[in-house]
Structure formats: C-alpha cells, structure tokens
Structure 1
Amino acid sequence: MDKGRILKSVGTVGSFTALSRFLGLARDVLMAGFFGTSLVMDAFVVAFTVPNLFRRLFGEGALSSAFVPVLVETRQKEGDPAAWKLVNRVLVLLAAVLTLITLAVILFAVLVPVQSEKAVQVLGLLKIMMPYMVFICLAAVSMGILNSFHHFAVSAFAPAILNILWISTVLFVVPNIGTSPEEKIRAVAWAVLLAGFLQWAVQWPMLYKLGWRMNRVQAQPAKVGKILRLMGPAALGMAVLQLNVVIDRTLALWVGGGAPSALFFSERLIYFPLGIIATALGTVLLPTFSGQAKDPEKMSETVSDSLRHLLFVMIPASVGLLVLATPVVQMIFEWKNFGTSSTWMTAIALQAYAPGLVVFSLAKVFVPAFYGMQDTRTPVRVGMIAVVLNLVLNITFVLTLPQAVKHAGLAFATVLSSVFNMSCLALILQHRLGGIGWKAVAATAARSFGAAALMGVAVWFVYGLFPNLGKIGQVIAVAVSIGIGGAAYLIASLLFRAPELREFVRTFRR
C-alpha cells in the first residue's frame, strides 16, 4: 500500500471509528447522567476491565499481532484456501480456550467469599459480563482477518454496535427496570454481553463473501505453532500490561469514591481523538508492515510518514484538551447525577492524561512495525520495564499527592511510563531500519507545536469572552472556541508551510 492508499484506508477506518466514538460519547454522557461517579459506576468500570483485559490479550493484542503476519504470509505463499484453513483452526482453538477461561472466572466469582460491598458489586457484574470476552475476542480476530484482505469498513463499523445497543438500553430499559441503581446497572451489563455477540456476527457476511467457510477443521501444527511462538512473548507482555491496568483501577477504587469513574470518563475523552486517527492508522499499518517486512527502506518511509501525520493531528488535540478540560467535561457530562465535584475530578484527570495523547498515538506506529517484522519480543521486553515504572510511579503518587488529586497521579504515571516505552521502541526501530527520517518528523513536531501554541492562546482567549449562560451557553462557547482554535491552527500550518496539510487535502479530494 502506497502513502495515498494508506491514508485513504485510514480515512475509511477513521470515519467508522468516528461514528463509534460519537456514539460512545453519547453513551458516556447517558451513563454519567444516570449513574454519575457512584459506587455502582465504580463497580461497573472495574468489572468491565476484566473481560477487556482478555480482549486486548487474545483479541486486539497478542493474538492479532501474531496471527495477521502469519495469515498474510500464508496467503502470499500458499493462496487463499490455505489461509482460510488456518483461520478456521485459529477460531476453533480461540473459542475453546476463551470458554474455559470464562467458566473459571465465573466459578471464582461465585465461590470467593467477600464482605465488602464494593467487592460484591464488582463480582456480581463480572459474572454477567465475563462471557462478553469470548464474543469480542472472536470479533477482534475476525477484524484482523478482514484487515489482512484490506477490507476495513465492516470491521471498523462493528464497534458501533456496542454503543448503539448500550445507548438504547440506557434510554429505554434503565428508566423502566428495577428501583435501585444496582438493578439498573445490571441491565447495562446484559446489553454489553449481547453486543459482544453482535459485533462478531455482523462480520460473518463479509468473511463469507471473501471465501470463509466453516468446514471441517484441519490441524495445521506448523502454522499454529508459529503463531503461538510469536504470540507467547506478546501475551506475556500484554498480560503484565493489562494486570497493571487492573491494579490502576483497583488503586483508584482504594484512593477514594468516584476515582475509577473519573478516570473512566476522562479516558473516554482521550480515546475520542486517539481512536479516530491513531487507532485507525494502527489498524491499517499492521497488514501494511507485514507486507513490507522484507523491504526496510519502504517500511522506514511508511513509519516516517505515519509519525508525521499523527503528530500533525494529535499535538493540537492534546493542547486543546489541556486548555479546555474543565469546559469540555462540564459541557458533555455535567447533568443529573454528574455534579460539579464529578466534573472537577474528571477534568483534573483529563489534564493529566492530555499530554500523553501524543505519546499514546505513537504506539499505533511503533508496535505494529515490530509485529509486522514478526518480532513480538521487543515490544514486550520494553513494555514490561515500562509497566514496572508505571507501578512504581503509581504507588509514589498515591502515597505523596494530596487526597483530592491522587487519581490524577495515576493518570500522569501512565503518561510518563508511555514516554519511556515509546522512546525505547523508537531507538530500537531506528537501529533495525537503519534510519526513520527523524529530520522530517522533528520538523513536523516543531511546526505543529508552534501552531498548536498559537491555537491554545486563541482558544483560551475566545472562551474567556463568553459568560456562563447554562448548558446551551457552554455548548456555544466550547464550539466557537474549538472552531476558532482549529482555524488558527490551520492558518498557522499554512504559514509554516506544513506538507502534511497538503497531503491530507490531496487524499480527501481522492
């Protein structure tokens, strides 16, 4: 895939991802209004973390990173029939393993004796949502299969199904079921489970069109063994990383009521721009890098171009969220049970996360580059060190920061450890490829930071001109500030002669 086709594919994935993110934002607004930063919302956030842990391990993470390069290689050398046989074998093995894990976790949740009300709430929701892990992992692997065939639209749309069903449940089921928050949040948990199955099922027609048939599964020990060997290090790294996420959420539950919810809502705002551009780019880059694995010069060019495009978009997004953190949280989430204290907790966490938006996005380039070369060990080794650093920083900030901002310390620890992680990967990749074109990347970063600084001043000044006129006034003030800030960034980019702007415009015209 050349630069233009990559950007076009990113546009396709990004468009559907944007739809999903907008729906997700609406979903989070409804959850904030109905549940706020209450105990049941804290319990839901922690319980939902567990199936998501396995989703990132077996779905989007270790398995996909090992499976897609082998699938691409099989198609190139042996043709599509051999590739589909490999697909069936992997899907059957994955379903069997995930089902056993699900049953074990549910059995643990049923038998473990707990006294704390927080633990009772978490385990009760976990028993409902754990089977979601089976379906969402199969859906994620199916996405990887479609992406390896360079079909991105259907798999990019699938996550929107979760948000559509979630929104419908909160709007039409939650107000009419039960009388307690515990009963209402369980309805949301059941909706999550159903949505997991639907996200997998919606991809079946396109898989069938491309040639997938669930025929008799044939053992392919050599290819499956290769996938497992590639997956092993990545699985270990992802397991440690996701364990760290669970520890983060548990620490947040310990530091004070509402902290897990505040981190959840602030993360949703960070993932909004991250998902539209960075995740879309990472989705396209994995099969692209897999095809370029034997051409370091071409891969180096793709890495350099991808970094430039990400920096051009993510630097202003980071600055914008940093400047408008409180107004944005207030405008989006503050209603019904989400009061001023919830707004403050979420906004301070968002400001701690905002600088990391740039760093988080770089992972969507560096990690797929290693996976495309079928090297799953290097990101794991570096990631494990970063996880230990993150844990040390978490404990340090929890013990030293004032009570009111301990949860923001957890967010900032994630940013600092990600800076270390991406810096190490960048240096190693530079050595592997013999160069990445850092001069062009640095020039883009300098131009984007300069333009974003001017944008930040414009946004801060314009928002200060608006009086507080209620919810409608907040929407107008934020919208006008973002509009003028965006215009300021584009004008500054034109004055700085940013080539990325021309490349985006050229792609959109095509």
Structure 2
Amino acid sequence: MSMQKSTIIKKSLQIGIISSLSKVIAIARETLLVQFLGVGALSDAFYVAFQIPNRLRKFFAEGTLSSVMIPAFVHAHKEQGNSGINRLATAAFLWVESIVFLICLGVFLFPEYVITKQAQGFSEIQIMYAKQYVQILISFILFLSSGAVFAAALQAQHHVIVPALSPAILNIIYVSSLFACIWYNWSIATFCWCMVGASIFFFIMQVAAFFWYGFRFEKPDTKTWNDLGYVMFQFLASFISFGALELSHFIDTGFASYLKQGSITLFRAAFNFINLPLGILSASFMTALLPYFSKLKYKEKEEIEYHYTQALMFITWMTLPIVFLMTVFSYKIFQTLYASRFTPDNIIETGNNLIAYLIALPFMAGNRFLLNVCYIYKITFAPVIIAIVTTGCNYVLNKLLISSMGTAGLALGTSIACILQTIFYILLIHYKAHIKIDFKKFITFLFNYSTQLILASSILYLIYQGLYTIIAQQTFTKDLIFFTINQSFFTEGLGFWMWVGPLCAVYLASLYGTKKWFNIEIFYL
C-alpha cells in the first residue's frame, strides 16, 4: 500500500468515525427537536428562521468556503511555508467576517423581508414568530464562519481531528439544550440562544487548535491580498454552484409554504436524513482527499484520470447500499423516531419525500467531489452556469409536480436536477480540464457491483421479513421504569433498531468482505 493511499484511508477512517458519531447525535437532536416543536405552524416558523443562518453556514462555514480555501492554503504553504498560511488565514478571517457581519446586520434589521422571501405562503402569526427567531439565530453564522477559516487551514495541513470533532461537540450541546428546554419547558427563543452559545464554543475550538499546531496571526503582505482576491473571486463564483442543493431547498421551501401547515417540517425531516450520509461521506473521504487532489494536479495525466475514476467508483460503492437500506426502512425511520408527534399520514408523507431524495443520493455525493475537481483546476465560471440552469430546472419541475405529488414532488424535482448537474460536471471536466473517466473500467465495476448488491440485498430483505414476522407474532410484555418492552417495541419502536441495526451492519460488512468474489477493485478500499 502506498504512503498516499495509507494516509487517505487513515484520515478517512478517523474523520468518518468522528463524523458518524456526530450524525448519530444529530439523529437524537432531530428527534428531540420534533418532540420539542411538534408539527404545525410554530415548527414551520422555527425551521424557516433556522434555515436562513444554516443555509449561510453551507456557504461561509462548510462546503463553499472550504472548497476554495483548502487548495489556497495548500498553495500558500507550498510557496511560503507556515508563514504563508498565517498571512492567508489572517487576511481571510478579516475579509470573510466583514462580509458575514454585513449580511447578519441586514437580516437583523430587515427580518420580515427575509422571511417573506423564503416562505411566501406564511401567515402573519408565523411571520411574527419567525422574525423573532431569526434575529437571534443569525448571529451564530458569524462565529461558525470565523471558525471555518481556521478549520480550513488545519485541514490543508492534514490536522483534521479538531475540525472533524467539532460538529459532534456542537450536536452534543444542541441535544443537551433540547433536553433542558423540554425538561424545564423553556421557550423556543431560549433554545435559539443556546445555539448561538454553541457557535461561540465552536469558534474558540478552531482558534485554539490553530495556535496549538504552531500557526499564528501574521500581517498579510501584498501577495497575500492578491492571492486572497483570487480566492474570493472563486468563492463568489462557487457561491451559487456549490450551494445548488441548498438553493434548490430554498426554492422548495417557498413552494412548501403554500401547502398545509406542517409541510415544511415534514419536508425538512426528509432533507435532513438525506444529508446524514452526504455529510459523513463529505466529511470523511472528501476532506481527506481534497488536499491530495490539490497536489495531484501536478502529476501525470494518466495518474490523475486513474484517481478521478477510482474516486467516482468509491463514491458509488459507498452510496448505493445506503440508497437500498434507507429506501427499505424509510417509513420505519420516521415511525420509530417521531411517532409520538407525527400522525400516520405525516410518516407516509415524510417517507415518500425521503425516497424521492434517495433516487439521486449517489449523484448528490458525486457532485460535491466533481465541483471540487473543477475548483482545483480553476474552472469557476462554468459551474455557476450549470447551477443556474439546474436550479431553473428544479423550479420548473416543482411547478409541474407539486399539485399532483405535494412535497414528494418537490424532492423529486431536486433529485432530477442533481442528476442533470452530475452529467454537466462530467462533461465540463472532460472538455475544460481534459480529464476523462475510464468508462470501460467504471461500467465493468458497476455491472459487478450491481450483481453483488442484488444478491446481498435480496438475502437481507428475506431475512428481515422473516425475523419481522416472527417477532410480530410473539406476545410478551415487560414493564420498565421509562417504557414497556413488547412485540410492538421491537417492530414499531426504538427496539426495532436493536435487531435491524446489527442486520444492516452485517449486510454492509458482507459487501466489503465479498468484493473480491465479484472482481470489485477500488484503490481507496
């Protein structure tokens, strides 16, 4: 195993384990949030208010900013060592936070305008509550974006543990705050302040790690400002392209606000669950791979194309089993977690939304990688055009599908737009960067993997149905302090995952363990 491969796999595993822990805590957070808010006008108001800073987070504190800053920090270190990173981090911190502060100020001063632009169908009561919440929540993006600059500098030098661990710590604080809010019957506004406090802690963590690894603030020179100017140009260009999925969700939310009250809550529940595997894959494999790909562009073309194809194969290998599992258990996910606040109709609607999203999960994950490849090769303008075109397609599809399919139509429209986006990115990289996919190898892999998946998934489904039937036919009751254990607990409650979870783990392990039987060879496995 080469040192490069060993490093990527090691970092991916480290970040993946931490990120998975964070996502498990995130599930607990979402479950408690539903318990706290319920489903209705007030929950819709909170989610719309929260989406505004959270959407800015996707641009200024996660994907977009990281995608342009990490290669820039790699380049700065290559030319000037740690001093280059110090100067660029200082300049980026000053520049980015100036922009974010002005945005926060605008939202704070004109909350009603922002709310009504996002949820045109809101009632006056919903607008009133959403205004109150967004004026509190908007400040948390200020601290998250500040921390993200220093996190990008750390990731560029492969110091990934603190940036990867931070989301888990944030979620722990959120969960603790929700427990307190439910227990003491605190208001939603109080929970909003707790979220702001968590963002301050996140910022302190990143700055402390930045200094711990020997970096510091350093006065930027003329070259640093020039380099930052180009980075900011890339950032502005990527603002639309990298956030295409978030922009689509913004449009979808506007459409959902015209549907019955609670529709935004149900739509968001499905969107959050599709982001769980996306977040893990992005945080682990792509975070570890991006600095490597930034250096790989200086290598021979054949080596670049080899790793390009292998990365797409790996993303496909990771996402297809998740599509199967989440589709099979889509309704059970929401039944077991949210049954106390969701009606049966709510569960069915949210499950349908999730299935509609899952159609495009491999493409959503692939788009994040493909867009990063574009930025590494300084292709910045064309992805903006692609994002605008596909977002326009999403809007048209929403208009066509919402009347017949409701919120599921909105999710399906987003999925189709994501698939189109993947096709456009592959063509763009082919013609602009002159990097080609080895289609012969990819199609052979896809055929072999499909054969393995069909066989393994069929066996899993038969075992699942058999065990479910056996458990459902049992009659037993055991009263404990906080809940009762009976057959319903294992078929409709949280006990369902006590036996289905290990079953899914065995299924995933079997795919890895038997890959050689089906001639599946991927560099990153």
Q: TM-score under structure 2 normalisation?
A: 0.87
Partners of 1:217 and 1:491 in 2: CA distance: 51
The runs of 5 or more residues in structure 2 that have no matched partner are 117-122, 473-486
- CA pair 113-32 structure 1, distance change in 2 beyond 3 A: closer
1:177 equivalenced with 2:185 (yes/no) = yes
Match of 1:128 among 136, 141, 144: 136
1:26 equivalenced with 2:45 (yes/no) = no
Q: Deviations over 1:364-390 (max 9, x none)?
A: 321111111222223222122111111
- CA pair 461-328 structure 1, distance change in 2 beyond 3 A: farther
Partners of 1:379 and 1:307 in 2: CA distance: 18
Partners of 1:110 and 1:349 in 2: CA distance: 29
- CA pair 493-79 structure 1, distance change in 2 beyond 3 A: closer
1:232 equivalenced with 2:236 (yes/no) = yes
**Contact 2:52 2:138 survives alignment (8 Å):** yes
Q: Deviations over 1:129-150 (max 9, x none)?
A: 0011111112222221111111
**For residue 225 of structure 2, what is the aligned residue in structure 1?**
221
Aligned pairs (5 A) from 1:426-445? 426-431=426-431, 432-445=433-446
Which amino acid in the other structure matches residue 137 of structure 2?
Answer: M
Partners of 2:391 and 2:200 in 1: CA distance: 32
* More contact order relative to length (CA 8 Å, sep ≥ 6): 1
**Contact 2:147 2:207 survives alignment (8 Å):** no
Report the number of matched residues: 493
Partners of 2:113 and 2:284 in 1: CA distance: 41
Q: Report how far residue 127 of structure 1 moved.
A: 0.8
Match of 2:347 among 336, 343, 346: 343
Q: Report how far residue 227 of structure 1 moved.
A: 1.5
Q: Report how far residue 247 of structure 1 moved.
A: 1.9
**For residue 263 of structure 1, what is the aligned residue in structure 2?**
267
Q: Report how far residue 216 of structure 1 moved.
A: 4.8
**For residue 36 of structure 1, what is the aligned residue in structure 2?**
38
Partners of 2:5 and 2:260 in 1: CA distance: 48
- CA pair 87-348 structure 1, distance change in 2 beyond 3 A: same
**For residue 486 of structure 1, what is the aligned residue in structure 2?**
508
**For residue 275 of structure 1, what is the aligned residue in structure 2?**
279
- CA pair 121-437 structure 1, distance change in 2 beyond 3 A: same
Aligned pairs (5 A) from 1:409-420? 409-420=409-420
- CA pair 355-243 structure 1, distance change in 2 beyond 3 A: closer
Partners of 1:437 and 1:108 in 2: CA distance: 51
Aligned pairs (5 A) from 1:19-418? 19-109=21-111, 116-178=124-186, 183=187, 185-216=188-219, 220-238=224-242, 242-295=246-299, 296-334=301-339, 336-399=340-403, 401=404, 405-418=405-418
Which amino acid in the other structure matches residue 90 of structure 1?
Answer: A
- CA pair 456-259 structure 1, distance change in 2 beyond 3 A: farther
**Contact 1:14 1:275 survives alignment (8 Å):** no
**For residue 449 of structure 2, what is the aligned residue in structure 1?**
448
Partners of 2:115 and 2:269 in 1: CA distance: 31
**For residue 508 of structure 1, what is the aligned residue in structure 2?**
none
**Contact 1:27 1:167 survives alignment (8 Å):** yes
**For residue 16 of structure 2, what is the aligned residue in structure 1?**
14
Of 102-111 and 359-368, deviating more is: 102-111
Partners of 1:150 and 1:476 in 2: CA distance: 36
**Contact 1:71 1:83 survives alignment (8 Å):** yes
Q: What SS does structure 2 have at the residue aligned with 1:255?
A: coil
Q: Report how far residue 88 of structure 1 moved.
A: 0.3
**Contact 1:65 1:368 survives alignment (8 Å):** yes
Q: What SS does structure 2 have at the residue aligned with 1:375?
A: coil
Q: What SS does structure 2 have at the residue aligned with 1:203?
A: helix
Q: Report how far residue 483 of structure 1 moved.
A: 4.5
Which amino acid in the other structure matches residue 27 of structure 1?
Answer: R
Partners of 1:453 and 1:151 in 2: CA distance: 39
**Contact 1:263 1:346 survives alignment (8 Å):** yes
Work out the percentage of aligned pairs sharing the same amino acid. 22
Which amino acid in the other structure matches residue 21 of structure 2?
Answer: L
CA RMSD in angstroms comes to 2.4
Partners of 2:519 and 2:55 in 1: CA distance: 43
Of 373-382 and 486-495, deviating more is: 486-495
**Contact 1:68 1:144 survives alignment (8 Å):** yes
Partners of 2:114 and 2:416 in 1: CA distance: 36
Partners of 2:312 and 2:244 in 1: CA distance: 27
Q: What SS does structure 2 have at the residue aligned with 1:254?
A: coil
Which amino acid in the other structure matches residue 164 of structure 1?
Answer: I
Which amino acid in the other structure matches residue 436 of structure 2?
Answer: G
**Contact 1:32 1:333 survives alignment (8 Å):** yes
The runs of 5 or more residues in structure 1 that have no matched partner are 505-510
**For residue 475 of structure 1, what is the aligned residue in structure 2?**
497
Partners of 1:434 and 1:477 in 2: CA distance: 45
**Contact 2:87 2:220 survives alignment (8 Å):** yes
Q: Deviations over 1:159-214 (max 9, x none)?
A: 11221011101112332034xxxx2x223222221111211211222211333223
**Contact 2:115 2:131 survives alignment (8 Å):** no
Which amino acid in the other structure matches residue 32 of structure 2?
Answer: L
Q: Deviations over 1:410-444 (max 9, x none)?
A: 11111100000011111222332342322222222
Which amino acid in the other structure matches residue 336 of structure 2?
Answer: M
Of 11-20 and 474-483, deviating more is: 474-483
- CA pair 346-471 structure 1, distance change in 2 beyond 3 A: farther
Q: TM-score under structure 1 normalisation?
A: 0.90
Which amino acid in the other structure matches residue 272 of structure 1?
Answer: L
Which amino acid in the other structure matches residue 254 of structure 2?
Answer: T
**Contact 1:287 1:372 survives alignment (8 Å):** no
**Contact 1:69 1:374 survives alignment (8 Å):** no
Q: What SS does structure 1 have at the residue aligned with 2:153?
A: helix
Which amino acid in the other structure matches residue 518 of structure 2?
Answer: F
Which amino acid in the other structure matches residue 206 of structure 1?
Answer: A
Q: What SS does structure 1 have at the residue aligned with 2:110?
A: helix
Which amino acid in the other structure matches residue 307 of structure 1?
Answer: L
Partners of 1:377 and 1:279 in 2: CA distance: 25
Q: Report how far residue 84 of structure 1 moved.
A: 0.7
